[in-house]
Structure 1
Amino acid sequence: MQRSKLPYFFLALSAVLAISAVALLFIRPGSPAVVQQPTPAVPEAPPEPPKKPELPPAVPNLGAMPEPEKPEDVFKNLGVGVEEVDPSELVARIAKAIEAGDLATAAKLIGKDALDPKTLERLKNLATAQAIKLRQPGGVREVGELELNALARWALELDGPEAGRDRIFLDLRRNKGVWSVEKITLPPAANEPIPKAILADSLGTADAFLQAVLKQDFEFARAFVDPATVSDAKIAGLCILFEEGGYRLRASKPLRAMFQRKDTVGYLANVETTDAAQSAQFAISLRQPPAPSNWLVSEINLDQLLADYARRVAGGDVYYSPLVKNPQGGDTLALYFEFDEDEINPRTRRQLEIVTMILKSDPGKKITLSGHTDSLGTDGYNRSLSSRRADVVRDYLVSAGVSEAQIITLGKGASQPRRPNVTESGEDDPEGRRANRRTEIYLDF
């Protein structure tokens, strides 16, 4: 009996269905049992660079600010000016701008309190008339104080051919620890006369006087003093002290305010040697006569300066001084000699060069030369020696171009000692005798 194949058919169909069900289970999306191959990454396009933000209009750098056509344009935008803790830094920045012809920068640094359209116009004309260059070295100079630690003056020394038109002055005011420009003074225009002093105040007069002394310009220095109280000998003596002592005005605070009254002021002049190794000082007072007169130097106290000079130049002998008191009043120049000698030494020669310059500037000026000795020797010998000491000075001046008619000579012997020739115990005093061997120059003008 043949077996039916139907069961085998259904069994095979069941197996196929089971396998299909299992296969569908494995290939269903999201099934964790399926390990899919990663899809190759598509390279991304590089990001676009960020766009630069639009900036407001650029603010010009002060050092490169173009000059407007009209000073009035600058004045409209001026502020109160720049403040600095260090006044020298502010003045240096102003000097740099002016030298570069940069009117706008200079104006912004100075500020509206010190400037007006007229001054700006003059500053522009000054810059365009010629290329402004500062003197080298020393183009920026501190003049001194008008008020102690509160109001100071600085000068921009221009490299110009004509004295009196070669300085710009800046007055700086200190407020809450910082300095700003309070006033600017420009030199006179080419068609304006040069005044005796650019600034007619007391500090301007004192500075002009000392600058003349530094240049050994006796006549110009003399124009700033009261002749009733300041002798020509004191001016000449100050010239000699500056020259022989090698002094110059100190760079920092050369003139310091001591006192201020309505018509009298006092300054302390600070000086130093040319190598800045030593410093000294002296006092200078000024008074203002009734208007319209300018301030005049009325007193010069050289005690501290003479003491420093004696220590450095005269071996510590305060009596060995180029400036002595005249028995008849006033000051007299003194030239010294070695024992029993009537020869001019190099130091004396330099002093006489200054006297020669004074006498040659005005043939109407006359001097009296009086020779002196110490007490050693007979009266007759000392009178002869003192006469020779006066004569040798006269001969030097004449050989230098001074008219003999301007000179009177006297021999005083040992009759007018400056110091005692002996000590209190009656012993010989070499230092005292040293100060007595001299020729005094009395300026009769």
Structure 2
Amino acid sequence: MRDESSFPLAFVIGALVLAGGVTFLYMKRPAPQEFAPVPAGETGAPPSAGPAPAQPPMPATQKESVADGPQDPEAALANAGVGMATANPAELVAKIGAALEAGDFNALGKLIGKDALDEATRKRLAAMAADRKVKLRHPDAVQEVGELELGSRGRWALWLDGAESGRDRIFFDLKRSADKWSVQSMTLPPGEGQPVPKAVLIDSLGIADAFLQATLHQQFELAKEFVDTSTVSDAKIAGLCILFEEGNYRLRPEKPLRAMFQKPDTAGYLARVVTAEGADAAEFSLALTQPQAAGHWRVSDINLDQLLADYASRVAGGDVYYSPLLKNPKGGDTLVLYFGFNEDILAPRTERQLEIVAQILKTDVGKQLTISGHTDALGTEEYNRKLSARRAGIVKDFLVKTGVREDQIITVASGQSEPRRPNFTESGGDNPDGRRANRRSEIYLDFD
């Protein structure tokens, strides 16, 4: 028979053992995970208990959008918020480019901000970014265009993949406040079926940039659309094309166009270029005017003195007399090609210059140019007249071989009668530097 007096003691011992086991299990349980609060306006489910399966790293532009759930492109852009402000404008534009390529509308809206996204821009941007159709040029997709206002407003651009001209870009005007930059407005390139404008932006900075992009891409006819032809000659435009091509210049990555002055109807910019290796090379000035009848801005003056000096130093072996562009005594500018002593053959550099001129002439068979041949003062006048005729003729022959029509070219043999520099010193001695500058052919572009 069981002794009932021992039951309470056994019950107490069992209870103590059970309590100890519960305490042990409680102390050994996993620590609770802490979850960051979900920001207002975003949705997201808490993670499930236990370790999550390994996931591949996610591109930075997609991290927030996945948490935000499925994207409605226009809705995401319409609810963009105030936009991002950053101390580094290039970084901001680069993030926008990454979001564009990823088709991440939520990120786009947060980066750009609703003030820069009107309804038309939202629709176009949503259509462009759908299914990740936007591809940017890599490397160097991000480009600083120039200053709109000194230190407070600037223009940046994203180059599209396969872009062949400066018009194939997305532009962002950024404003600076409290040392941080944010998007003030954006301009998209024209869509399919839309007329392609000569310049996407028609303010003074937009015209200055469009002109430089056209000359950098050797697009003479397009460049001419942006100038006042009464003050900027065809030869100066062609000369700038030659300088860019032969000098292998490109626009400076940082502040390529710096504002000098800005008034309601006039503006001035310093254009800064670098060599192919990225070293600072030179700067030259552009002046622009806006007609009183609310016409588009036009480049009204170009001062190439510093660029010509750098070209002579780097490309022409330091010979300052070998400038490809000179003032014409009759007005305007003249392209100049140089020859060796008693020679009537073209140097490789001269042939490249003529190839650029040929491209200009072949765009319109109605264009006509005049080529004049010249010599120094050594030799008889008759001999020099014939030599100058051969020099003009060899230039014409080269242009005709490249496809220019013969009736577009007029040749003149000037002999030694029109020296650019003195053939002799004041004391009557020989002046080799002057004579070298006089052995030339001049190309006068009379296109109007």
Aligned partner of 1:417: which letter?
Answer: P
2:386 to 384, 387, 410: 384
- Gapped runs of 5+ residues in structure 1? 1-41
Q: What secondary structure, in the 3-state scheme, does the structure 2 residue paired with 1:45 have?
A: helix
Distance 1:380 1:219, change over 3 A: same
Name the residue aligned to 2:323: 321
Give me the whole-angstrom Cα distance separating, in 1, the residues matched to 2:96 and 2:236: 38
Residue 375 of structure 2 is aligned to residue 373 of structure 1: yes
Find the counterpart in structure 2 of residue 45 from structure 1.
Answer: 24
CA distance in 1, matches of 2:180, 2:284: 29
- Given residue 444 of structure 2, which amino acid in structure 1 is its aligned partner? Y
Q: Normalised by the size of structure 2, how large is the TM-score?
A: 0.86
Q: Is the 8 A contact 2:136 2:158 kept in 1?
A: yes
Q: Could you tell me how far apart the structure 2 residues matched to 1:161 and 1:235 are?
A: 22
Cα distance change, pair 69–319 in 1 and its aligned pair in 2 (3 A) = same
TM-score (norm 1): 0.86
One-letter amino acid of the structure 1 residue matched with residue 122 of structure 2: L
Report the counterpart of residue 346 of structure 2 in structure 1.
344
The answer for the alignment partner of 2:436 in structure 1 is: 434
Structure 1 residue aligned with 2:267? 265
Indicate how the Cα distance of structure 1 residues 163 and 271 shifts in structure 2: closer, same or farther if over 3 A, else same: closer
* Secondary structure class of the residue paired with 2:222: helix
What per-residue deviation string (whole Å, max 9, x for no partner) do you get for residues 22-75 of structure 1? xxxxxxxxxxxxxxxxxxxx8872413344456534768863314532523542
Corresponding residue number in structure 1 for 2:195: 193
1:202-260 C-alpha deviation (Å, 9 max, x unpaired)? 11111111111111111111111111010000000001111111111111111110111
Shift of 1:149: 1.5
Between the aligned partners of 1:225 and 1:391, the Cα distance in structure 2 is 32
Tell me how far 1:166 sits from its aligned partner.
2.8
Contact 1:86 1:179 in 2 (8 A): yes
1:167-316 to 2 correspondence within 5 Å?
Answer: 167-316=169-318
- Equivalent residues of 2:166, 2:213 under 8 A apart: no
1:92 partner amino acid: A
Contact 1:72 1:117 in 2 (8 A): no
Cα distance change of structure 1 residues 345 and 163 upon mapping to structure 2, 3 Å threshold = closer
- 1:69 paired with 2:72, answer yes
The DSSP-based 3-state class of the residue aligned with 1:309 is: helix
Relative distance call for 1:130 and 1:293 in structure 2 (3 A) is: farther
Greater CA deviation, 57-66 or 285-294?
A: 57-66
| Greater C-alpha radius of gyration | 1
Q: Classify 1:179/1:73 alpha carbon distance in 2 versus 1 (closer, same or farther; 3 Å).
A: closer
Mean Cα deviation higher: 99-108 or 116-125: 116-125
Once the two structures are TM-superposed, the CA of residue 163 in structure 1 deviates from its matched residue by 5.6
Count of residues in correspondence between the two structures:
403
**Is this contact kept in 2: 1:169–1:185, CA < 8 A?**
yes
- Mapped to 1, the partners of 2:327 and 2:396 lie a distance apart of 21
**Closer, same or farther: CA 138–191 of 1 in aligned 2, 3 Å:** same
Task: Give, in whole Å, the separation in 1 of the partners of 2:268 and 2:119.
Answer: 35
Measure the CA separation in 1 of the matches of 2:371 and 2:76: 66
1: distance between equivalents of 2:131 and 2:233? 42
